[in-house]
Amino acid sequence: MNIENYMREIGQNARAASRLLAAADSGQKNKALLAIADELKACQEQILAANALDMSAGRENGLDEALLDRLAIREQTIEQMVEGLEQISALADPCGEISDMSYRPSGIQVGKMRVPLGVVGIIYESRPNVTIDAASLCLKSGNATILRGGKEAFHSNQAIAKCIAAGLKSAGLPEEAVQVIETTDRAAVSAMITMPEYVDVIVPRGGKGLIERISAEAKVSVIKHLDGICHVYVDDKADLEKAKAIAINAKTHRYGVCNAMETLLLHESLKEEFLKALAEVYWQKGVQLRACEKSYASLKDVCSDPERLKPAEDADWDTEYLAPILAVKLVANMSDAMDHIAAHSSGHTESIVSEDYSRVRRFLAQVDSASVMANASTRFADGFEYGLGAEIGISTDKIHARGPVGLQGLTSQKWIVFGDGHIRD
């Protein structure tokens, strides 16, 4: 197989399908989503069988348990896919939404219409459910999709691809609206990210290495999600009950997620009673604290276990642990906290806990991250929690889509102009 030619054909098909998809009405797109759900249910056995092939190959190749778990499709996984399709079909269609229409002094009427981006390329790793998630979000937003899953999930993805194609066909939409690449050759990825004539945007979903590699090589715009080094700042004017609940939730609700807190910034007046009480809860939950000099000095009064308490090193302020580890730093005031955030945040999510009106107002205005919160856990930074219905990723970029990316992030806005024979003087 000549990969260049194969990918060019995929690209041309996608571009052609994208025009038909952009012209499809909401009813037709929803019909396709529900038809895909029906196909998934009808082909459950074939999907499970294909997944079994991937699982046994994965075991032979020594994939670790966490990876195997992500790779596994169970009956329940298929039910979740079906539910996801139903939910997305129930969301409002973002396409065609007209906003900001107004008359101009020249007499023309100008506004904006929301439209699909065109062709979205998605590159992801082992979870085969991403195949359905990504396909359905792109379909609903009127985009043709090219999907490149991980080689570990190859058979699973191909089985799911058949269901998608059958669903599209039965709704009268082109099967090429969703194309799952039929090769595991890496050259396919290189081709896909360098065909701006056929692909409008790339969404890489996976580890930092994948995303950095793709960003570096791409000649197409990339909606990228890098680290989540999230901060909570507890102010001296915080309600300390709320502060405690938020600090515990932001760190311990789930460890391996990008919106978990990685660094706690504490007003220095809280270094005794509050910090010590909080530390007890972290330790009960098995969280190791990496403390700045002053907080370490305070905490070593109550803890001498180096598994629980370590002095922080410089690297700790720039580390996304994704683990039961928390960096703790005392700051003199909110400005100090904001300086620390500006220097070390990855621009994902930060939260202030304070009852002080002026400080909250300033923190929200001036902290430059995709999500900035007051008196809420960073764990809320999520497409579902924000009401997007679903998300294709969380962008740490400032350009185009920022934070959780749902249907709207997969669209663009064009200008529309109504005249009545208007010409320019």
Query: Site residues (CB under 8 A) for its own copies?
Result: 19, 22-23, 96, 102, 104, 106, 108, 110, 113, 115, 117-118, 200-201, 216, 219, 221, 239, 241-242, 245-246, 248-250, 253, 342, 351, 362, 364-366, 368-377, 379-381, 385-387, 397-400, 402-404, 412-424
Question: What is the rounded CA–CA span in Å between residue 223 and residue 226?
Answer: 10
3-state secondary structure of 398: coil
Nearer to its own copies, 255 or 386 (CB): 386
Least CB distance to its own copies at residue 375 (A): 4
CA 101 → CA 61, 95, 104, 413, distances in Å? 58, 16, 10, 13
Nearer to its own copies, 22 or 210 (CB): 22
Least CB distance to its own copies at residue 300 (A): 29
Nearer to its own copies, 80 or 412 (CB): 412
Nearer to its own copies, 89 or 377 (CB): 377
Least CB distance to its own copies at residue 186 (A): 22
CA 109 → CA 102, 412, 418, 419, 424, distances in Å? 5, 20, 5, 7, 14
Nearer to its own copies, 52 or 110 (CB): 110
Nearer to its own copies, 22 or 67 (CB): 22
Least CB distance to its own copies at residue 124 (A): 20
CA 81 to chain CA mean position, Å: 18
Angle between helix 75-90 and 44-60 (nearest 10): 120
Least CB distance to its own copies at residue 296 (A): 27
User: Is 180:149 a contact under the CB 8 Å cutoff?
Assistant: yes
CA 120 → CA 165, 168, 293, 334, 391, distances in Å? 17, 17, 48, 41, 14
The DSSP secondary structure of 386-397, one letter per residue, reads TT-S--SEEE--
User: Is 227:346 a contact under the CB 8 Å cutoff?
Assistant: yes
Question: What is the rounded CA–CA span in Å between residue 401 and residue 41?
Answer: 34
Give the residue from 93, 92, 53 showing the smallest Cα distance to 73.
Answer: 53
Nearer to its own copies, 110 or 322 (CB): 110
Least CB distance to its own copies at residue 260 (A): 11
Cα first-last separation, the chain: 58
Token couple for 1: 């197989």
Least CB distance to its own copies at residue 399 (A): 4
Nearer to its own copies, 161 or 372 (CB): 372
Question: What is the rounded CA–CA span in Å between residue 183 and residue 345?
Answer: 38
Nearer to its own copies, 185 or 320 (CB): 320
Phi and psi based region of residue 65 (left: phi greater than 0; alpha: psi -120 to 50; beta: remaining): alpha
3-state secondary structure of 328: strand
Question: What is the rounded CA–CA span in Å between residue 125 and residue 223?
Answer: 16
Least CB distance to its own copies at residue 415 (A): 4
Least CB distance to its own copies at residue 306 (A): 30
Least CB distance to its own copies at residue 311 (A): 28
Nearer to its own copies, 172 or 300 (CB): 172
